[in-house]
Structure formats: structure tokens, C-alpha cells
Amino acid sequence: MATLSNTPFSIDRKIVQLVKPSKPTPSEVLSLSSIDNDTILENLWQSIYVYKANDNVSAAHKGQADPASILAEALSKVLVYYFPLAGKLRRHSDGKLRLKCNADDGVPFVVATANCQLSSVNYLDKINTENGRHFVCDFPSDSDHGYHPLALQVTKFSCGGFTIGMSLSHSVCDGFGAAQFFRALVELASGESEPSVKPVWERERLVGNPTQEPFDVPVDKNSLATSPYLPTSDVVHEYFDVSAKSIAKLKMSLMEEANQGHDTIERMTTFEILGAYVWRSRFRALKMDSNGNCCLHVAVGLRNLMEPPLPEGYYGNAFISANVVLPARDLEKGSLTKVVKFIKQNKNLALSNDYIRTFLGDMEKFPELNAKMKTGASMELTDWRHLGLLEGIDFGWKPVNLLPVPISNVPLFKELCMLMPPPKLSDTAMKSGDVRVFVSLPRAAMPKFKEEMDALMYGVDAAST
């Protein structure tokens, strides 16, 4: 029996069923974009949506207030629109992913029951990865015919609350696309006849034209800083809640520093200053070699950067990476204002159509890219705050929390830092404008990282520790 918030709990899973589209759907083989085909993204991204018990279920569901049944029916309906998610995904001998659409494959769907109330486990808030696995469906894949790009698990608690664990292939959807699909599912669970936003495939829009030029890596792997804690498989994931007040204080300090020097910056965003602070804190926690280089990979959305823009319903991966490279000693000891400035400059460079075209062309040479970029001296920074992940997904029950469940042995998740919206728990101390920071680090490095974050969150001096 597992323990969460000092409360023992157990999960009883029923047999997995395959939910199929409620109407006939096309049988075809779909290609994916250059970004979708990146081998780094080929994993199942798992997340848990937490719904609080609600005695006032909408009139449409009176007498049928079982969230699992409602969601299974809604899934069957939404797959008519998102029929590729009911198919099988497989990488072929040419190195390209293809999705075989076959309604008979269906989506793995499992119902589970927990022997406790959600409140007794604090609505799974800040759940660790090991316990998070109980609330997502790990359906075995078929290596010969491909694997399911989507699986769902509904776990019901004795209080009437429940969780929805979604496992979704990152090769098929990015965070924006996942949020779009989930909202469509909830809309149909609410009684709507169709999604408000119709899904669009059109992956050919983001297929690059590779050139004969060698790939220009952001930094030579032989020059990268090293850490005594890497490589390792002992990776832990932690949440840090940063108040708007702490963010404002840091921003003011950096603006004053910029005004006193020659690094004038008209505007610093929360993303930039938190990204800079966390990057430096991670470097210090890892005790990186100060004679090497460090690289920050910033995810930049390109849905509205394309000419013409991608259609509203596009749900594939639509982001590029802005790469910020700094000498390790500058990151550790230099001005944090300069780090913010470099992040802003490289983000702006990534907004040009020339950069996007070059990036997509380089992605066509992904085997070479991945071979050159395998390192522990980099950090992946992404922003979940504006994806609307907890907005518009009320269907008689209200969502109160969202938790990622990263796969620790996947390289992408070992270097991950996410900025997340605060939960909607009534007893949480977090308010609008606060930011939840989710970080992955080797276990041995996490105590020092916590000290660095305490310096930001509580004004505790970590510089000397």
C-alpha cells in the first residue's frame, strides 16, 4: 500500500477497455512534421487532472452522475474528430514516424477506485512521480504494429471526487494541442454536440527542407561543463511555489542593477527572470565545472509566427527552441541581468521566419542533432501558465489541480524546468500571479537547489551555502 500526505492508499484498477470512435472514421496513414519526428519527443507525456467532488451535478447528468461513464462516452464521441488518436504510432525504417488510423485500435481506457478521499491526500498536490504512476494508464505497446498515442485513466475517490490521468504522445501533440484535445473531451462530456474548435492535422505545414550545410550546433559538446552528479538515473522532481511578491522583488532588483550598468532592458518578463534564476540555481546545485559552457533551451511557440499562421485547430508540436549559450563562470558568478538579457535576445532571434525555416530544415537531420546534443549541461525551459490547462474544463465537476508525471529515464525529463499555473485549491496559499516551478534534478543536487530557491521565495541567503 502506497502513502501520500501521510495517508495510506490503494488503487483498484479494472480491466482496460478500448474506446472506439462512435461513428466511422477514415482509415489512412498520416505523416508527421519535422518537429513531431524529433526522437527526443518520442515519449508519452503523462499528467493528472484533479476534480473536486460536486454535489450539484448539472441537470443533464442527474441519475447518471458517474464521471467515468460520462467521460468514456465523451471520448468515443471526440474520437470522431480526433480519430488519429485512436490509431497506432510507429517509427519506420526511414526514421520517420507515421500514424496508422484504424478505428478498431481504439484508445485504452481504464477505471480505477481509490480507498480514500481526495482531501485526505491533499488533492494529490505536489505528488511524487512514484505515486503519480498509480493514477495514469501504462498500457503495453505493440512494437510490431506501433503503440497507442493516447490512454486515459479515471480514478474515483470515496468522496465523489476523481482524477483523469492522461497519457499522450508528445510526438503527436505539444502542450497547446493536449490542452485543446482535453477541452474538446470535456465539452462533449458537458453535453455539447461538437468541439468548439475543430482539430486540424496539416503536419506538412511544419516539414522543413534540409540543406547540405552541416548542422550548426549551439555549442560544441566537448566544451560543455560537467557535473559530478551526472550522468545518473537517480532523478527526482520537485515543486517550488514562488509568490508574485517574490517575483516583483527580484524584477525590481534586476531593473536597478541594469540601470546602474550598461545592460538597459526596457521590460523583463516573469518567464525571463525566473528562467535565468532557475538556470543559475540549477548550475550551482549541480556543481558544474566553471571552465565549460552551459546551454539553455527555451521553447518558443510559433503558431502565430508562421506566414500564414497555423490554423486555430492545429494540435501538433508547434514550437522551436531558442538556444542560449553562456560560459559557465558567467552564469555562476556574473550579473543575472545579463543572463536575462541573453535569454530575451535569443528568444527574439527565434521569432524570425528565417530562423524558423532553418530550424525546421535542421530538424530533418535530427539523428545528427541528437547525437551532438546529448549532455547534462543543458536545461529545457517551458511555460505551461498560458495554455489554459485548468480553464474551460468544468463539466459538472470543477478542476482544482494539475500534476505532471514525468518519466525519469527519458533524457528530456532529466533536464526539465516548467513554469506552471497555481492550483485552484481553496486552502492553498498561492494567489493569482504566483508561479509554480517544477524542476528535475539528480537527487544529490536537489538540497542545494532548494537552498537557492529558498533565497528567492523567503529571502534566505543561499549565496554562501
Catalytic residue numbers?
Answer: 170, 394
CB-CB contact of 283 with 266 (8 Å): no
In three state form, how does the secondary structure of the chain look? CEEECCEEECEEECCCEEECCCCCCCCEEEECCCCCCCHHHCCEEEEEEEECCCCCCCHHHCCCCCHHHHHHHHHHHHCCCCHHHHCEEEECCCCCEEEEECCCCCEEEEEEEECCCCHHHHHHCCCCHHHHHHHCCCCCCECCCEECCEEEEEEECCCCCEEEEEEEECCCCCHHHHHHHHHHHHHHHCCCCCCCCCCECCHHHHCCCCCCCCCCCCCCHHHECCCCCCCCCCEEEEEEEECHHHHHHHHHHHHHHHHHCCCCCCCCCHHHHHHHHHHHHHHHHHCCCCCCEEEEEEEEECCCCCCCCCCCCECCCCEEEEEEEEEHHHHHHCCHHHHHHHHHHHHHHCCCHHHHHHHHHHHCCHHHHHHHHCCCCEEEEEECCCCCCCCCCCCCCCEEEEEECCCCCCHHHHCEEEEECCCCCCCCCCCCCCEEEEEEEEHHHHHHHHHHHHHHHCCCCCCCC
User: What whole-number distance in Å separates Cα of residue 95 and Cα of residue 171?
Assistant: 13
